[in-house]
Structure 1
Amino acid sequence: MDAWQIVHSVLAVVGGGACTVAGAACVWPINQPRRHVPANRPASRCQSRPVEWPKASTCDPPRQPFTLADAHIAMQLHRDHDCARKRVAFAALVAAGRIHPDTARRHRLWGKPW
């Protein structure tokens, strides 16, 4: 037997074993009872919700007040520059107590170094 026949035989045995394991896994009985969650039980705080990213990025102020999730997203999207949307998002997060402005920069204009 030459080297190619040995490699072919090894690959055939490994492939056949993988197919056997996959086939057994498909028909293997699973005897785990399903966990029933009552409908009136409140949702857990640990469950993650998908973040809805905006379809278009604009720097104009929003038409309606930001929710906390929208304010966080706006701060992330506009972190590299100063614009009206970022200022409104910052104010919403400060009002909600999520962030605290730096007291050393309270009277400093954004983007204007002294």
Structure 2
Amino acid sequence: MEENEPDPRFVLANERTFLTWISTSLALSAGGIAIAVVPGDVFVPWVRTLLAVVLVLLSAVAAGSAYPRWRHIDRALRQDRALPPPALAPLFGYGVAGVAVLALLLILLAR
């Protein structure tokens, strides 16, 4: 398939999105580590571990999917095709929301 040079604004926007996925991955990892070191009297240990593991796993998925997503979008831009849908967006949205709701409930019930 013939490749064209896309508008640089779209290429740079795709690069910024890639960097945002990497930043999101770092934030999720930091959140997971922070929850893992919360004092034992705040959360039950297995819940603390569960929340931390979910956040760190989401971090790994975000980091691991950032480059392939960038590459697929770059290829679509160069071949003048439709952009691929954001397949993992629901996973991150619901995953982080689930962790937040569970943490909120535990905080409220512990008081």
Asked if Structure 1 and Structure 2 have the same fold, meaning a TM-score greater than 0.5 normalized by the shorter chain, the answer is no
Structure-2-length-normalised TM-score: 0.25
Larger Rg: 1
Structure-1-length-normalised TM-score: 0.25
